Amino acid sequence: MKRLIVTLLILSLLVSFVPAYVLGDALHTVTSPLSENAALTENKWREPVSGRRQNERYLLLANGETAPSVVYGYTLFGKSTMDTIERYPDAWGMTVVAGVNGSFFDMTSGVPYGCVITGGCVRSSGDREAVGFRADGSAIIGYPKLSIDLSFPGGQTLRGVNCNKITTKANGVNLYTRDYDYATKNTIDTYNVVVKPSDADLKLNSRITAEVTEIRADVKSCAIPDGCFLLSCAAQSDYAVTMDATIRSLQAGDTVTIDVSIGDGWGEVVSACAGMEMLVLGGEAQKTFSLAGNSTRTARTAVGLQSDGTLIFYTVDAAGGSSGITLRELAQRMTELGCVTALNLDGGGSTAIRVRYPGKAESETINSPADGKLRKCANFVFLAHEKSEAGAAVHLFAYPHNAVALPGGSIPLEVKATDARYNPVAAPETVELTAEGGTVVSGALLAQTVGTATVTMKAGDASGKASVLVIETPDAITLTRENSTSAGGSIVSGETARFTASASYLGSAVYASQGSFVWTCDSAIGAIDPEGTFTAAKVYQPTTGNVTCTAGSRSQTAKLTVLPDYPFPDAETHWAREEIRTLYDAGVLRGAEVDGIPYFRPDDGMTRQEFFVALMRYLGTDLTQYDAAELPFADSEQIASWALPSVRAAYALGYLGGSAQDGALYALPDKTISRQEAIVILSRTLENTEGDPALLTPFSDWEAVAPWAQSGMSAMIQIGAVSGSDGQLLPLLPVTRAQAAKLLAVMRK
């Protein structure tokens, strides 16, 4: 444990003073002890030039009670996820504190490409580069020189035969044990010899004799009898002559000798798994690799040895905001971590690391697998120790363990405890919390100063410390607005809205209060308080501006349009305010701007051309259809350009007849329209334009209605659009803009 602590201190000093790391700059580092001799380090990096981010995690394991071992499922054929296989050591009376993925394997069958050794016995052959673990927890990395040799009655010997691999035409004899599965599951015709061994396990550096009991020819998937081995080769092998002289020459009762040998330093290995490509040899990072995809940035897993025997199990992601690295970068990184020897394990979607954080009862996947979930793999390396009865609380830990905050952010702290052996135990009921770089309020850390805030925990003989990274500038800020699908959009004048900001840093959410941000907005659209509550300004036309949230040098802006709660200041208290608003919202009536403020002029008379423009908008007429309409009016040139398309359409549709004077027809565009003129024009838009003149007689001034207007006026009275004023129709009075709004609004109903 002392070596482990010294190593961690050295690494932390390197991170502090040596910026020239292959991954760039270490921006956030958290180290957590997992047992007396195992620890986890989690780093977030950013490369200054490219901006690439990397999320790396590695386990440091010194010699001690917690030791590594290779574990796979019930059989070699098939695949399982790490959380599934993690249950096996638990069932064997072991406490798993961490694990990483292991061998490269065939994606279809799950059969590992290199060797697998468990319990000091060969489960699968291969002389690829491998990592081996001894009973005392020490390790060896290199070429195991594992060989399984078969000797036949005729004196022939086959060296380096395959054990528990898929049979092909090109790989000669395969030796199958029940470690593989209940059958060979080959897809080509094979020749098979069943043998009864003198020992059911292929122990390292051992010799086994096996008696032939049965021949099974011309089968694909051949059953492997319990307690027996199977010698198998392709029926159409590329080595037909050799096969004829060896495996095909066997008969029932013959004896085959099986020799299992392994290289120097590997004889005491109790478990091992193969990798592919040595990354570090003799303390030197390798620079050339033959593995396909070696120059691709992807997730990687590696295992390395430091000079004092400390093991490093390393992972880096290519998901969750992490870019992944090449094999060459991985090799350099392993030397930066002090490895004198290092091996590349399976990576890409297989890369995974699971950890039981101190004080927690269950393990969890702590990286971001490239597949979006744990991949089913061939085998895994677990760090575990024997279970024991839990003792008194000794170590205290605060969660979240790797929190990042802005000044003003509040981090709720959950205290957990372990005994001296890091077994989880109940946390003391009362824990004294103090902090540097912040204050503790009601069990939460209120971050104050940029840097590292440290929380100290004390409860009797139990104690611990936790740190929170307090940053000035996050990587990103996200804005939302209460009761709105987006931060931007529109808001009505005078209303308030609550903006909420959230931040992220290196792919993780940042703890922050709204007061952690600086809130500003353009004065033309309103004001915003320090907590993000925005009050829209009083406007009379849509006004667009920005609401901006800032933390350090990072800002996020939302474009907001303030809509008038009432569009015209001169009509807000008018008797026709609702009708004016209804027709304004419908795009039928508009005002005129003075110094940027729209005015409606409700009591001004409405000219004939203004009325026709409003009428066409009310009817939703497509004016482009009447561009070619010719007007017969002598005063057509007096029609304003903005009104001309509407006047053309009104004439073509029969709503405008004109006024005959001195033998000519006039549109009289600038003349204020009278009540009877407006009412008759509106009646022409009805399906039934003929009204009963008797409906006029209740009004005292009905005789003032022009004969040509009586039918139309009656039709409008009949549908309730005209009700008069104080018992009068007032047909000759000019129509004000407010009265026109009233007429059109009633028509809309």
Average pLDDT across the chain, whole number: 93
Average pLDDT over residues 257-264: 97
DSSP H or E stretch at residue 518: strand 518-521
Q: Is pLDDT of 2 > 70?
A: no
Average pLDDT over residues 465-493: 94
Q: What is the DSSP string of 619-681?
A: HT--GGGGTTPPP--TTGGGS-TTTHHHHHHHHHTTS---EEETTEEE--TTSBPBHHHHHHH
Binning pLDDT at 50, 70 and 90, where does residue 9 land?
very low
Token pair listed for 597: 């403020």
Residue 81 · residue 374 · CB < 8 Å: yes
The set of residues, in sequence order, having a beta carbon less than 8 Å from that of 637 and lying 6+ positions away, is none
The H-or-E segment that residue 127 falls in is: none
Model pLDDT, residue 591:
87
Confidence bin at 99 (pLDDT 50/70/90): very high
Bridge partner list, 261 = 147
pTM of the shown model: 0.77
Any idea which residue has 């050794």 for tokens? 117
The answer, yes or no, to whether residue 13 has pLDDT greater than 50, is no
The residue-averaged pLDDT of 305-332 equals 96
- CATH 2.60.40.1080 range(s) for the chain read 476-563
- Top-confidence residue, 401 or 554: 554
- Return the pLDDT at 18: 42
Q: Which CATH architecture has domain 476-563?
A: Sandwich (2.60)
Q: Is 479 strand, coil or helix? A: strand
Which contiguous run of DSSP H or E holds residue 612? helix 608-619
pLDDT at position 1, please?
Answer: 53
Is the pLDDT higher at 10 or at 706? 706
Q: For 562-599, how does the pLDDT look when each residue is reduced to its tens digit (9 = 90+)?
A: 999 998 999 999 999 999 989 988 889 888 888 888 89
Comparing CA positions, the residue from 77, 143, 86, 80 lying closest to residue 115 is 143
Does the pLDDT at position 14 exceed 90? no
Q: Quick one: CATH architecture of 395-470?
A: Sandwich (2.60)
Residues whose CB is less than 8 angstroms from the CB of residue 736 and which lie 6 or more positions away in sequence, other chains included: 602, 603, 604, 605, 606
| 129 alpha-carbon distance from chain centroid | 36
Say what the pLDDT of residue 720 is.
85
Q: Is the pLDDT of residue 127 over 60?
A: yes
Asked whether 511 and 403 are in contact (CB, 8 A), the reply is yes
Helices (H) and strands (E) in the chain, counts: 11, 49
* pLDDT higher than threshold 90 for residue 636: yes
Separation of alpha carbons 216 and 694, rounded Å = 114
Instruction: Look at residue 17 in the predicted model and tell me its pLDDT.
Output: 41
Q: What CA–CA distance (Å, rounded) separates 106 from 377?
A: 9
pLDDT of residue 692: 87
Question: What is d(CA 597, CA 538) in angstroms, rounded to the nearest whole number?
Answer: 11
pLDDT computed for residue 506 by the predictor: 85
